[in-house]
Amino acid sequence: MAPGKHSKNDGRKSTNNYCSTVTLVAFVALCLVGVWMMTSSSVVPLQNLDTTLKNTNEVRTVVTDDSIISKDETPTPDNTTSKQFEDNPGDLPEDATKGDNSGNSQHEKNNSKEDNTQTQVQETTIQNEDEKETNSDEKDSKKDEDSKDEKQEISEEGKEGKEDSSSNQVEILPSGAQSELLSETSAQNGSFSTQATESMNEKEGHKEKKGEKDYGYNWKLCNVTAGPDYIPCLDNLQAIKGLRTTKHYEHRERHCPENPPTCLVPLPEGYQRPIEWPTSREKIWYHNVPHTKLAELKGHQNWVKVTGEFLTFPGGGTQFKHGALHYIDFIQEIVPDIAWGKRSRVILDVGCGVASFGGFLFDRDVLTMSFAPKDEHEAQVQFALERGIPALSAVMGTQRLPFPARVFDIVHCARCRVPWHIEGGKLLLELNRLLRPGGYFVWSATPIYQKLPEDVGIWEAMTKLTKAMCWELIAVNKDKVNKVGVAVYQKPISNECYEGRPQNDPPLCNESDDPNAAWKVPLQTCMHKVPIGAEVRGSQWPEEWPSRVEKAPYWLLTSQTGVYGKPAPEDFTADFEHWKRVVNKSYMNGLGINWSNVRNVMDMRAIYGGFAAALREMNTWVMNVVSVDSPDTLPIIYERGLFGIYHDWCESFSTYPRSYDLLHADHLFSKIKKKCNMMALIAEVDRILRPEGKLIVRDTVEIIDEVENILRSMNWEVRLTYSKDKEGLLCVQKSMWRPVEVETITYAIA
């Protein structure tokens, strides 16, 4: 029937329409899937970032807070990393940190309890440095362009997945109580006074200046007489010209400008990436430190020689022309108790030259703080740093050296040109302040083995002075190979000799005089008594290296409150465990850093030295900087066989430009911003960091954002940025870029 026929036809028409609709939907879906596959073809879990870095020249990443799995994966123990960036919350109790006066720590505690994580998403670039070294500039440029469309997306799927318990997790920021470990609180300075308080020499010029928040980012090149070697606090020529006298090397001391420079120091022409350690100990690129005067003056003593495009270092010195290692072993032969690398771990080398003595002491597992004045021997400290050897530009003049009392196991002087015997022995008494009770002073100079009238007179004066100081002459021997003499003195371990002297000369210091006060404190012609209490620092020798690096010092008491609010020994241990975890799980694999290129490291805001201790198995050394207005924990750092210095980051650091491969700033910028000019600190970071060097910043999200924007304006490469619970991490690489516009620094022009 017709109605049936029409009914059948209507059914077919409806079916065809339905099929067409399904086909269209399927086609659109397939197109969407294809587009999605093209845009997500480079999805890589961040937990495998280290492998990714080895297999691709450049990976552009987007980092969020929780999930690290790709969209086509399901949350499994192998691919879910929702806790990937977190510390183990079981390491510290919830009350590990108390709030500070500013409320920052309490604010962090409140933030850690929020349900919604505040996330900063930034696009970053991580390059494989091995391939970067081998590829030509043209090839690198081409790969940069090819990789612009390549992204590593980090999905928020799997947020509720299982915790990744694998040992190769990448840890960026801790959470819970551990996040509070990142923020030192002023409320817990209690048991540790600050260096500023001890020294009572804070300057008013450190106050924050108004109107600096609108930075403008208009970078200029510093026009100064020192050129690429500019050190603002040592090249203040205007202040130096105004000195009344230079008799005590006042012109080599620090004279910081009232307003630190915000310009960028130029690069030497032909500068290139420094040679890696340990090859750098023997040779460096000439164009990186283009100075030849020292080679002309000291080449015959095997200090340094010019060899084609290199400056080479045969390992000699004025007192060890035939090599530092023989000289080092000779010292231990005449005094076996020195026991390099066991009993004697931290050394101070005065007037170090090119620091070959300290450079070869690394072979004996000894850490040496070498220093010499700028320009006394052209670029000597700069040579040392370029070689990968710790060194500072400093002088024994009118002020105490910026180190705490009783921290060096040995003080060494080989023809260091310091007149120890004059003016009541004032300079030798400064060494007495720095030397541990029972520590050694190793002196190698012509008065020990030559019979010229001047040498004889100096030897007699030194004999009289050291006897009055109760130093015992342990050994006097002549090195037949180098044909020099060495005298070794030992500081007393009790006050018996002091009390039995017929005359109080040199006098004992007043009980009120703090031997640890070392920031801009004038030298004094007196001696401090030896500590005798069983629980007083300096009354016992530290444990042998390397045991001392991991154990809390015997003089840290449970009755003392640590920086993070726990009893001091527990505080010390928690800090060490925290930094071991961060370094091993994050810094080693998660930041794209080729650690074979990292030698000279600075922790710009060290507490207990945990970051440096966590790196001790690496081929690096770490300069631990303790701010003068932070808890004075620098003695703890030395006690564990590491070293460091007091400093105020409102001023320039006493080192040459391009000294460090990596700078680590843990909540430093947020503190400096409250105190002085943060732009000047950024310029200082640029000055002391080598091109292609890395800066790791841990701070508040606001500071991370600000620092990142400033560094981008300097054409630095942002390699990783991450934030969670108002805390962030930033890893950036300095570029070779220098501005064209010039700024003349009038006080630094001759």
Cβ(611)–Cβ(622) below 8 Å: yes
Evaluate if residue 422 carries a pLDDT over 80: yes
Edge-first strand order for the sheet with 123-127 is 123-127, 58-62, 151-152
Cβ(173)–Cβ(724) below 8 Å: yes
State the Cα–Cα distance between residues 247 and 395, nearest whole angstrom.
13
> Which 8-state DSSP code applies to residue 229?
G
Evaluate if residue 361 carries a pLDDT over 60: yes
Tell me, what's the pLDDT at 63?
47
Task: State how beta strands 435-444 and 472-479 pair.
Answer: unpaired
Tell me, what's the pLDDT at 13?
40
**In which band, very low, low, confident or very high, does the pLDDT at 97 lie, cut at 50, 70 and 90?**
very low
**In which band, very low, low, confident or very high, does the pLDDT at 11 lie, cut at 50, 70 and 90?**
very low
Average pLDDT of 489-516? 96
State the Cα–Cα distance between residues 38 and 721, nearest whole angstrom.
25
Cβ(87)–Cβ(577) below 8 Å: no
Classify the C-alpha dihedral 534-537-543-549 as positive or negative: positive
Average pLDDT of 226-232? 97
Tell me, what's the pLDDT at 304?
86
Q: Is the model more confident about 544 or about 139?
A: 544
Cβ(579)–Cβ(608) below 8 Å: no
**In which band, very low, low, confident or very high, does the pLDDT at 143 lie, cut at 50, 70 and 90?**
very low
What residue has token string 């006493």? 654
Classify the C-alpha dihedral 734-737-741-744 as positive or negative: positive
Say what percent of the chain tops pLDDT 90: 65
DSSP 622-652: EEEEEETTSB--HHHHHHTT--EEEE-TTS-
Tell me, what's the pLDDT at 301?
67
State the Cα–Cα distance between residues 291 and 401, nearest whole angstrom.
28
Which residues have a Cβ under 8 Å from the Cβ of 649 and sit 6 or more positions away?
A: 604, 625, 627, 668, 672, 676, 681, 684
Cβ(66)–Cβ(723) below 8 Å: no
For the chain, give the longest Cα–Cα distance: 141
**In which band, very low, low, confident or very high, does the pLDDT at 252 lie, cut at 50, 70 and 90?**
very high
Average pLDDT of 658-672? 98
| Average confidence score pLDDT of the chain | 80
**In which band, very low, low, confident or very high, does the pLDDT at 171 lie, cut at 50, 70 and 90?**
low
Evaluate if residue 375 carries a pLDDT over 60: yes
Closest CA to 259 of 211, 208, 331: 208
Helix runs in 402-546, H state only: 426-434, 446-449, 453-468, 496-499
Tell me, what's the pLDDT at 525?
96
Q: Is the model more confident about 399 or about 197?
A: 399
Cβ(186)–Cβ(100) below 8 Å: yes
Mean pLDDT check: name the lowest of 40-49, 241-250, 690-699.
40-49
**In which band, very low, low, confident or very high, does the pLDDT at 173 lie, cut at 50, 70 and 90?**
low
Tell me, what's the pLDDT at 184?
40
Mean pLDDT check: name the lowest of 379-383, 431-435, 486-490.
379-383
**In which band, very low, low, confident or very high, does the pLDDT at 109 lie, cut at 50, 70 and 90?**
very low
Evaluate if residue 297 carries a pLDDT over 90: no
Tell me, what's the pLDDT at 20?
53
Tell me, what's the pLDDT at 193?
78
Evaluate if residue 67 carries a pLDDT over 60: no
Which residues have a Cβ under 8 Å from the Cβ of 303 and sit 6 or more positions away?
A: 294, 295, 313, 316, 317, 318, 353, 354, 356
Tell me, what's the pLDDT at 608?
98
Tell me, what's the pLDDT at 599?
98
Cβ atoms < 10 Å from Cβ of 326:
16
Average pLDDT of 519-545? 96
Evaluate if residue 108 carries a pLDDT over 50: no
State the Cα–Cα distance between residues 376 and 253, nearest whole angstrom.
12
**In which band, very low, low, confident or very high, does the pLDDT at 27 lie, cut at 50, 70 and 90?**
low
Provide the residue type at 385 as one letter: L
> Which 8-state DSSP code applies to residue 679?
H
Tell me, what's the pLDDT at 87?
35
Cβ atoms < 10 Å from Cβ of 616:
18
Q: pLDDT for 540-596, tens place per residue?
A: 999 999 999 999 999 999 999 999 999 999 999 999 999 999 999 999 998 999 999
Tell me, what's the pLDDT at 376?
60
Evaluate if residue 648 carries a pLDDT over 60: yes
Closest CA to 270 of 309, 235, 303: 309
Q: Is the model more confident about 198 or about 55?
A: 198
Tell me, what's the pLDDT at 319?
79
Task: Please report, to the nearest 10 degrees, the dihedral formed by the alpha carbons of residues 429, 430, 434, 439 taken in order.
Answer: -30
Evaluate if residue 72 carries a pLDDT over 70: no
Tell me, what's the pLDDT at 631?
97
Mean pLDDT check: name the lowest of 215-219, 387-391, 395-399.
215-219
Average pLDDT of 733-742? 97
Tell me, what's the pLDDT at 96?
33
**In which band, very low, low, confident or very high, does the pLDDT at 15 lie, cut at 50, 70 and 90?**
very low
Kindly state the helix (H) or strand (E) to which residue 36 belongs, with its residue range.
helix 2-39
Evaluate if residue 377 carries a pLDDT over 80: no
Edge-first strand order for the sheet with 346-350 is 391-393, 367-372, 346-350, 408-414, 435-444, 484-490, 472-479
Tell me, what's the pLDDT at 388?
98
Q: Is the model more confident about 26 or about 507?
A: 507
Average pLDDT of 256-263? 97
What does the buried/exposed string (b/e) look like for 340-368 if buried means 16 or more CB atoms within 10 Å of the residue's CB? Answer: bbebbbbbbbbbbbbbbbbbbbbebebbb
Tell me, what's the pLDDT at 428?
98
Say what percent of the chain tops pLDDT 70: 71
Q: pLDDT for 74-94, tens place per residue?
A: 333 333 333 322 333 333 333
Kindly state the helix (H) or strand (E) to which residue 686 belongs, with its residue range.
helix 678-688
Average pLDDT of 294-301? 68
State the Cα–Cα distance between residues 724 and 142, nearest whole angstrom.
35
State the Cα–Cα distance between residues 600 and 598, nearest whole angstrom.
6
Phi, psi at 232, each rounded to 5°: -50, -40
Closest CA to 654 of 295, 270, 326, 370: 370
Q: How far apart are the first and last CA of the chain?
A: 114
Can you name the residues that pair with 395 across neighbouring β-strands?
none
Tell me, what's the pLDDT at 144?
44
State the Cα–Cα distance between residues 241 and 301, nearest whole angstrom.
34
For residue 522, the SS3 value is strand
Locate 193 and state its tokens. Answer: 């006074």
Q: Is the model more confident about 384 or about 109?
A: 384
Mean pLDDT check: name the lowest of 135-149, 331-345, 572-586.
135-149
Burial class (CB in 10 A: 0-12, 13-18, 19+), 292: middle
State the Cα–Cα distance between residues 489 and 469, nearest whole angstrom.
11
Tell me, what's the pLDDT at 194?
84
Cα angle at 696 between 691 and 700, to 5 degrees? 135
Tell me, what's the pLDDT at 299?
55
Angle between helices 678-688 and 701-713 (to 10 degrees): 60
